[in-house]
Amino acid sequence: MEKTSAESQFEAYRRSLLDEITRLATCIQIYIRLHEHRGDRLAALNTAPEFFTTVLGALLTTIVLWTDKLFCRKSEHGLEHFLAFIKTNIATLDIAELKRRKGYSDDHWMLQGRESITSQTIKSDRRRLQQLKVLPAIRLRRNKFHAHFDKEYFFDKGRLATDAPLRIPDLEELISVATEVVNRYSTAYDGVYFRTTTMNATDIDELLDIVHEALRQADQR
């Protein structure tokens, strides 16, 4: 069955947006794991302190910039723009279109209890995105330090932690909400549900475990 222009655009938008959400999720997961390992693998981290300090700094900058690109209202292809695209092409996500697209029978389980996507659905998702707790801190960090140097923070970088704190639960919420929003429209389109967690984020655990074990054996000699 030949796809309409709106269908092709939706699939391309979904694929690219999920790629970027997964990129952000990976950076956040590794950033969190490195911070957590300061409690149980500090000696291993201190075998290459400059390297791990640089990695943490690079991850933080990526987190700030990618969050802003994905969640900023003015971002050209972020989540807000995606919702605007959905609103313009809302007929593409009609339940009848899902039925036609997948060839489902009237009693197919995927259609049971399914609610239609409405303008209120889109408005609710937009409001939820805008109300994420960490976004004001992300915007301040992006505008005042990571994308541009503001003298107030350039000469007193420690103020960022006070004026724009980044709590781990709030960073994790970014990914869960973004994934939930995209999946709402993905499942309405063709029933496909995506996960944005990455298996490779735990590679850092294995690396630090190897260094930890080597240090332990060295101490026993």
What the block records as the tokens of 92 is: 């593409």
Q: Domain segments of the chain: what residues?
A: 5-220
Provide the 3-class DSSP secondary structure of residue 183: helix
Q: Which class for 167: exposed (0-12), middle (13-18), buried (19 or more C-beta within 10 A)? A: exposed
Model-level pTM greater than 0.75? Answer: yes
pLDDT computed for residue 141 by the predictor = 96
pLDDT computed for residue 95 by the predictor = 94
Q: Where are the alpha helices (DSSP H) in the chain?
A: 5-36, 42-45, 49-71, 79-88, 95-102, 119-130, 135-141, 151-154, 159-163, 168-190, 203-220
How confident is the prediction along the chain (221 residues), in pLDDT tens digits per residue? 678 999 999 999 999 999 999 999 999 999 999 999 999 999 999 999 999 999 999 999 999 999 999 999 888 889 999 999 999 999 999 999 999 999 898 889 888 888 899 999 999 999 999 999 999 999 999 999 999 999 999 999 899 999 999 999 999 999 999 999 999 999 999 999 998 877 677 888 889 989 988 988 888 87
Those residues whose C-beta lies under 8 Å from the C-beta of residue 26, and which sit 6 or more positions away, are: 198, 200, 201
Give the C-alpha separation, 138 to 66, whole Å. Answer: 10
pLDDT computed for residue 90 by the predictor = 97
Give the C-alpha separation, 190 to 100, whole Å. Answer: 10
pLDDT computed for residue 1 by the predictor = 63
